[in-house]
Amino acid sequence: MAGPWVAEVALELAPWQQLHPLLDACFPRSPRDVFERVVTASHRRQRLWLARDGDGLLGLVMLSPHSKGGHLDNLAVAPNARGRGIGQQLVKALLKAIGQGGPAMVSLTTRIPSFFAPFGFQPCGQLADGSTAMLILLPGPAASEFPAP
């Protein structure tokens, strides 16, 4: 008899009617809405915050949502706009938006951990490419309480 197999399944092909009872059986204590959280998170698209000056784009930050928060992706500030606090404004806006939903966590990987530490991100380890994995648990300090750059 062959053993179980493991394979990635496209979300649109997932056996949703089987997932709900499985998750309920695996998570009998709170939160009891694990299935709903997984389904909701799996259908979320990336979120995007932009910094603009008139018609010009100065910076962006993206969040890949998951059921307990998300992963901060792609913080970028135009070279001619750096040093003006735009990166800090983008991160503050992302954290404030995610924190409004209640307790959450946000992860990221970076080569500049000192930029993210003032927001409350804690280093978790180093990756093979030399970047640092970091994590923050929200609600943390209110966006207005983040240190000035």
* C-beta separation of 39 from 69 below 8 A: no
The pLDDT confidence band at residue 119, using thresholds 50, 70 and 90, is: very high
Listed ranges 26-35, 122-131, 140-149; the one with the highest mean pLDDT = 122-131
Tell me what the mean pLDDT of segment 24-36 comes to. 64
Domain ranges of the chain: 12-42, 47-145
Is the pLDDT at 141 greater than 90? The verdict is: no
Task: Give percent of the chain above pLDDT 70.
Answer: 66
Is the pLDDT at 72 greater than 70? The verdict is: yes
Three-class secondary structure of residue 115 per DSSP: helix
CATH number, span 47-145: 3.40.630.30
Region of 102 on the Ramachandran plot (φ > 0 left; ψ -120 to 50 alpha; else beta): left
Is the pLDDT at 144 greater than 50? The verdict is: no
Alpha helices, DSSP H, located in 46-85:
none
